[in-house]
Structures are given as structure tokens and as C-alpha cells.
A and B are shown apart, each in its own frame.
Chain A
């Protein structure tokens, strides 16, 4: 009995030892992704977790460098007409699909038409409504072949726009603008996204997808720059819980994780300074006010709410890992940001005075329900905001729900003041347009200002970038004087990267193509 027990323990110890000694080879890069991807069909994609993988699988007309700059993708060069309505792209003649089929302008035409086809039901179809007839096609009023995109020859593509849009090259970075292998879609239908049928044109191809376990990619030998791709295999592991990702990073299972608990930032920065890669995200966290209901239709009430908030206290004392306070809805870190916020320092006494003007006082205080998405980080921020408002004599009720319920309530106008956020592009228009009355549900507060709309619509018709940026700044300043939203701060991305991974660079998009990474020394 004793001998058997000892043998058993010894075998187990050896097994554990062998397993732990078997350090990972320079073969597979293990990345902790923020969530399970919902799809790898670029036209049906919606979430960041999908974009992280798709940018390794496909390359669009334009692509991004390791530090997030726009650079040529399949298109080698491009020109734009003087009126800004016609973009002509010259495609790289060596481009091909992973199965060796040549990649031509027809693949882009097929892709962009499929993207706007209502049957595809692309959740981000509106991102390319700037293309001529796109909106009408997506609404089912025109057939997809009416889309303003033409394959002039096998390697020349022309895109016509409804209105000038100088940010088109950036918009084309989104997976929705990737080419789609028509021959694979024709052959396999919706099953073209299965690993066994997979065809793509990026640095990697899909090797295996085990739901909620990992997505495995392998190097695409047909890729335009395959010789420069140093890492042969990549696995994206989904982590719903950042603490799990952190545990697996610390225990050596993961080479990179895209997110770890906010509460650990200071500890990790001290213990792992060589691995911390935190950076500001092109984003804005803000409060949206329902301008259609009383008393929040009164600009004095909205201004009082804004004036009572001390942003620096939130970013420095509550969050404190580099978040940037912002008085404007367009993040100060994006290219071409020019606007300035309302010219008021935070002031509790001024907030009280404004409330008194609006008819609120200690006997009849303003009641506000502040809604936010349930999370530990949010809880700290919104309790702090509630405390600041209470100092100004406001009665605050905090209400938190899960993400789906929160945004459903926002879209239905079922809120008074609520947390909101927006992220993505390196230009101010992407954020300022949230205040446009015609933008749809994303204007949660149903803000409508004829003056802002007129200025914003004028900017939308302007082809010259510098003029357009100036007009956008003017429009934003006009809107912010009416306090439809209360901008708070630019949020941070929290990444950890092992020292043996080279080529990883922080960028405002928080997208990191593996094709630029390499191994340094031994893991």
C-alpha cells in the first residue's frame, strides 16, 4: 500500500515537473483577447475582440503600421478628385488570396456590395454610408450593384462618395472594408468562415477555432510581405475576466494580454515595469443628458451638472493610471483636435447658483438618477460623481445595470443622466457627429440644435481637411455651450507584453498586428 502510494506521488511529481519544464518554443504566440469573437466574417463583425483577430487575417485597401499610422495595404497608392468625391486606388498587382487565387479590384467591389446588402445584416453598415448609394442600398431601396464602387480594371478601383469625406482612408481600416474571397463565398456560402474553407489575404489564415477555448492562426505563405512575418503561429485566448488573463500571464501561459484588472495597475507597474504597456485609447467617456425631459431640457440644469464635476479628481484620485480629463467630446489626443470646452472651471458654488436660477434649492432639490454599467471601476467613478453633485445640493440616485440593458434604455430614451462612451478613430468628426440630430440612436440624449446641425452639415460638405476641422471645432463649441453631454476623460488601455516579444508598439487604436512582432531571445 505504502509503496503504491509513493509510486503514485512520484509519478505525479514527475508528470508535473515534466509539464512545467516543457517551456513554450518559439513557435506559437499566445495572446489573451478581451472576449470570445462573435464572428470572423468581416462584414458581420461588431466588437473589438473580433477586430483584434481580423486585422491579422485580412488587409484592406489601407492598413496600419505597428504604431497605428495609416499606410498602404492592398492599394499601393491613391488619388482623390478636387471635389473630394472620387477616390481612385491602384492595387498591388502581386496581391493574392491565401489559396493562390489573384486578388483583384472585383474582390473589393464584391465585398463592399455584400457589406451594404441588407441580407448580410452588417451591424456596422452605417460606417460606410459615405459611399454613394450605400444608405439607400442598406435600407433596401436600391440593389447592391448601384453602390458607388467600380472596378475600372483588375487593379484599379474607384470609390464614389455621397459627400466629401477626407477621413475615408481611416474608415477603410475597419474590417467592414476588407476584400472578401468571392470564389470561397460562392462555393461555401455562410460556411466560408469555417477553418476548413478559410481563404483570406492577410498575414495569417484561420487554422482552428475552438469556441471559447482559442482561435489559432498560422502564417499565410501567400501574403504580400510573408517574408517579413516572423511569428508562424498565433493563438487568441478569450478572457471574459481580466483577473484570469492576468493569472495566466503571470504564470507564463500568455505572451500578451489585452486587459488586466484596473485595480492592479499600480502593483503591476511596480512589479513588472518591463511588461506594462498602458496607453491612452482614442476614446471619450462622457455623461449623456436626456435633453427631452424636464428639468433636463433646461440648459441651466445641464450646466449645473457639468460645472459641479471636477474631472481631475476623477482621473487623478479615483482612476489614476493616466486617464486624461477632457472638456470636449472629441478626445484631445486625436489628430486635428482643435475645439475647446466651455470656458468654466469646475465650481460647486456656481453649480448651486445655476440650480437656484432654475428654481432648485435646499427645500426643493434637483433629483437625478445617474445610470451606469455595472463594474468595479465604474462604481468608483460614479459614486465620486454622485458625491460631487450632492455637494451642490443635488439628490442623486445611482442605478447600475448590465451593458445590454443599459444601452437598450439609452436608445429608448429611458434615462435622465447616463454613462456613455465612444472610441475608434483618430479624427474629431467621429465623436462630434454623436451630437448630430440625424445620426440616429447614438445621439442618446436626443439633442437637437439647428445651429449645431447647420455648422456640422456645412463641415460635412467641405472637402478641404483643414477647413473642415475648423468648422467641426466651431460646431462642437456651439453644442458644448448647451451641455447636451458632459465629457469626462480619455480612457486607458491596459496591456501586458512579455519581454521576449518584440515589435509590439502602443497606439491609440489599441490594435497590434502580429505581422510586426518577433521573438527576442528565449521565452
Chain B
């Protein structure tokens, strides 16, 4: 795990420096002397390898460095403030996406090739075609501007979470529904399902107690990356709803050449993926007895 993080950080560090421009380039040109003062103040005048060594040394001591653009905060302070917000929104979106997706998928499998299956399939297809970039403006227009029911952005109350969470989770509901439908259908064709049906087990009991646990394995393998993406924040949703999570830092930090901020965000994202994948692997052990820990 540590090796993976080190490799990702190293690649990110040097890729960022390859990009043209620097943190102090803007429409107000500064003189060479002023730029030199800035570079010295942030130790950006040191040789690149020395900067890399200093960054790793700081990282080992829990210091993520200063932000070059948000000068009154350290990177750690910014991430510390933004991460709980991203976790909250991502966590709610993930819970809704997994539970609703599973429910829809199981229902579609239960009613396969019937009208309900076709109707839900239509909903799922629409969901997949509605990334936050499209869903967010539509939802705001309808629920905030036209109806005036929900806030258009900000984070002042639980109500402010409704539209961002919906924008974020709709495509994931669809993806989980698709996955769980096909896994359930596959499990329904297994001999154990046929045996259960022959023994007279009811349809819903068969689905929930026999089919779903077996169908969960492929679904869970998607939970890891989906969770990391949702929990680490979404740039589009954050910008559109003015939510101060950390997803914004990936893109804006990169555009601003705020090297340390991007590195901090990448560190959080990488660590999240690794931890979540590990947790999913542990869940596999519990759900599927055929899988063993070596």
C-alpha cells in the first residue's frame, strides 16, 4: 500500500511540473524580481529533486505543505475542512445508490422480460445517460428556479444536500441496478436456485435469501471504485452547487498549478481507493465462503 502511494505521488509530482505555467502566472504579470521573491518564499527555487525530497520528508512528518493559491491555509487545513463534507455527500449518495440499485436490480430480475422490467430498464438507461453535468442543471431549474422547493446551492441545512446527492447518485443507481439485475439472473439459473424453487421457496424469499447473497460479489467489486469516486468528491457537483468538498481541488488545483494542493488531493483519493478496495475484499470473505484469505 505504501509503495503504491509513493509511486502515485512521485508520478503526480513530476507530471505537475511538466505542465506549462506556474502557480504565480496570471493576467497581472509580475516582475522577475517579484516572481523570484515568491519562488524563494515557497522554496520553489530549489532544484526539482530537492523539492521532491523535501515534499516526501514533509509527508513522512504529516506535513502536506502550504497551498500556493490559498495562502492563508495549509493543504492539510483545506483537506481537513473539505473531506468531511465530501464524505457526507458521497456517503449518502453511495448508500442510496447501492441500496436503491440492488432493490431495482432484484426487482427487474424477479420480473424479467415483463412490463415492470422493461419500464425499470428504461429508467436505468435514462439514469446512465444523466451524468451530474446534465442532471444538476435540470434539477436546479425544476426544483429551485421553477418550483422553488429546494435550495440551488450551498450547505446551510440538510435540505441543501438533496439536489447534489440526487445528481451524484442517479448514474450509480443505474449502474448498480444493471449489475445486480444481471448477477441475480445468473444466480437464478444456478442449480441451487432451481432446487430451492423445487422445494417450494417463495419468489421473494428465494431472491433475498438465496440469490442476492450470491449476486452481491460482482456488485461489491464495483462498490470499491464507486465509493472512492463518490467519497473523494465530484468537481462538477461541487462547483455547480457551491459545495466546499475536496473534489474541486483536483481540477482547479491543477489548473492553478497549486502543486501541493493537487498532491494532497491525490493522496487522499489514492488512500481512499486502497482502503475501500481492502474493505471490499474483506466483505467478499464474509459473503462468499469460497474465497479464502492467503
Residues of A participating in the B interface, judged by any CB pair closer than 8 Å: 15-16, 19-20, 36, 38-41, 44, 46-47, 118-126, 135, 138-139, 193-194, 209-213, 237-241, 243-244, 247-248, 250-251, 253, 402-405, 407-411, 420-421, 440-442, 444
Pairs across A and B, CB under 8 Å, 29 listed: A38-B71, A39-B70, A46-B28, A118-B40, A119-B41, A121-B40, A121-B42, A123-B28, A123-B30, A123-B38, A126-B34, A210-B81, A211-B78, A244-B153, A244-B241, A247-B145, A248-B152, A248-B153, A248-B154, A250-B152, A251-B144, A251-B148, A253-B151, A404-B256, A405-B19, A408-B25, A409-B20, A411-B29, A441-B30
Measured CB to CB, the closest approach of chain B to A181, in angstroms, equals 16
Cβ-closest chain B residue relative to A419? B27
| A239: contacting residue among B23, B157, B242, CB under 8 A | B242
| B21: contacting residue among A250, A404, A420, CB under 8 A | A404
Q: State in angstroms the CA–CA spacing of A404 and B26 once bound together.
A: 6
Residues of B within 8 A of A211 (CB): 70, 73, 77-78, 81-82, 244
Instruction: State whether A20 and B149 are in contact (beta carbons under 8 Å apart), knowing that A125-B34, A138-B37 are contacts in the complex.
Output: yes
Q: State in angstroms the CA–CA spacing of A244 and B155 once bound together.
A: 14
| B242: contacting residue among A40, A121, A244, A250, CB under 8 A | A244
- CB of B255 within 8 A of CB of A404, answer yes
Residues of A within 8 A of B77 (CB): 211
- CB of A404 within 8 A of CB of B257, answer yes
Instruction: State whether A248 and B21 are in contact (beta carbons under 8 Å apart), knowing that A121-B40, A138-B34 are contacts in the complex.
Output: no
Residues of B within 8 A of A125 (CB): 34, 37
- CB of A20 within 8 A of CB of B148, answer yes
Q: State in angstroms the CA–CA spacing of A492 and B118 once bound together.
A: 53
- CB of A210 within 8 A of CB of B244, answer yes
Q: CB of B239 within 8 A of chain A? A: yes
Residues of A within 8 A of B144 (CB): 247, 251
Q: State in angstroms the CA–CA spacing of A119 and B38 once bound together.
A: 8
Instruction: State whether A404 and B82 are in contact (beta carbons under 8 Å apart), knowing that A210-B244, A241-B240, A441-B31 are contacts in the complex.
Output: no
Q: State in angstroms the CA–CA spacing of A36 and B238 once bound together.
A: 13
- CB of B248 within 8 A of CB of A212, answer yes
Q: State in angstroms the CA–CA spacing of A223 and B40 once bound together.
A: 37
Residues of B within 8 A of A440 (CB): 29, 31-32
Residues 258-273 (chain B) with a chain A CB within 8 angstroms: none
Q: State in angstroms the CA–CA spacing of A211 and B152 once bound together.
A: 19
- CB of B148 within 8 A of CB of A421, answer no
Going nearest first, the 8 A-B pairs with the smallest beta carbon separation are: A408-B21, A212-B244, A121-B41, A404-B21, A442-B29, A39-B71, A247-B152, A440-B31
Q: State in angstroms the CA–CA spacing of A243 and B144 once bound together.
A: 13
Residues of B within 8 A of A47 (CB): 26
- CB of A121 within 8 A of CB of B72, answer no
| A139: contacting residue among B22, B33, B240, CB under 8 A | B33
In the complex, the number of residue pairs spanning A and B with C-beta atoms less than 8 Å apart equals 156
- CB of B240 within 8 A of CB of A244, answer yes
Q: State in angstroms the CA–CA spacing of A194 and B73 once bound together.
A: 9
Q: State in angstroms the CA–CA spacing of A414 and B44 once bound together.
A: 23
- CB of A123 within 8 A of CB of B34, answer yes
Residues of B within 8 A of A210 (CB): 81, 244
- CB of B29 within 8 A of CB of A404, answer no
| A38: contacting residue among B20, B70, B248, CB under 8 A | B70
| B72: contacting residue among A193, A241, A247, A411, CB under 8 A | A193
Q: CB of B7 within 8 A of chain A? A: no
- CB of B239 within 8 A of CB of A241, answer yes
Residues of B within 8 A of A118 (CB): 37, 40
Measured CB to CB, the closest approach of chain B to A380, in angstroms, equals 19
Q: State in angstroms the CA–CA spacing of A123 and B27 once bound together.
A: 12
Measured CB to CB, the closest approach of chain B to A12, in angstroms, equals 9
- CB of B149 within 8 A of CB of A16, answer yes
Q: State in angstroms the CA–CA spacing of A250 and B150 once bound together.
A: 12
Q: CB of B194 within 8 A of chain A? A: no
Residues of A within 8 A of B154 (CB): 237, 248, 253
Q: State in angstroms the CA–CA spacing of A125 and B244 once bound together.
A: 31
Measured CB to CB, the closest approach of chain B to A255, in angstroms, equals 14
Residues of B within 8 A of A250 (CB): 145, 152
- CB of B150 within 8 A of CB of A16, answer yes
Residues of B within 8 A of A19 (CB): 157, 159
Instruction: State whether A404 and B25 are in contact (beta carbons under 8 Å apart), knowing that A247-B144, A248-B153, A253-B153 are contacts in the complex.
Output: yes
Instruction: State whether A251 and B255 are in contact (beta carbons under 8 Å apart), knowing that A403-B26, A444-B29 are contacts in the complex.
Output: no
Residues of B within 8 A of A41 (CB): 71-72
Residues of A within 8 A of B240 (CB): 241, 243-244
Measured CB to CB, the closest approach of chain A to B155, in angstroms, equals 6
Q: State in angstroms the CA–CA spacing of A103 and B106 once bound together.
A: 72
Cβ-closest chain B residue relative to A139? B33
Q: State in angstroms the CA–CA spacing of A194 and B41 once bound together.
A: 20
Residues of B within 8 A of A213 (CB): 155, 242, 244
- CB of B71 within 8 A of CB of A16, answer no
Q: State in angstroms the CA–CA spacing of A194 and B228 once bound together.
A: 32
Q: State in angstroms the CA–CA spacing of A19 and B20 once bound together.
A: 47
Q: State in angstroms the CA–CA spacing of A405 and B152 once bound together.
A: 32
Q: CB of B24 within 8 A of chain A? A: yes
Residues of A within 8 A of B41 (CB): 119-121
Q: State in angstroms the CA–CA spacing of A444 and B256 once bound together.
A: 21
Measured CB to CB, the closest approach of chain B to A31, in angstroms, equals 13
- CB of B26 within 8 A of CB of A238, answer no
- CB of B25 within 8 A of CB of A36, answer no
| A212: contacting residue among B71, B82, B153, CB under 8 A | B82
Cβ-closest chain B residue relative to A411? B29
Q: CB of B140 within 8 A of chain A? A: yes
Cβ-closest chain A residue relative to B66? A190
Measured CB to CB, the closest approach of chain A to B229, in angstroms, equals 20
Cβ-closest chain B residue relative to A402? B255
Per-position binary interface string of chain B over residues 25-61, scored 1 when its CB falls under 8 Å from any chain A CB and 0 otherwise? 1111111111001101110000000000000000000
A212-B242, A240-B252, A404-B255 known; 13 other A-B pairs, CB under 8 Å?
A16-B159, A36-B70, A39-B72, A46-B28, A118-B37, A118-B40, A403-B27, A404-B21, A404-B22, A404-B23, A407-B27, A409-B21, A440-B32
| B152: contacting residue among A39, A122, A251, A410, CB under 8 A | A251
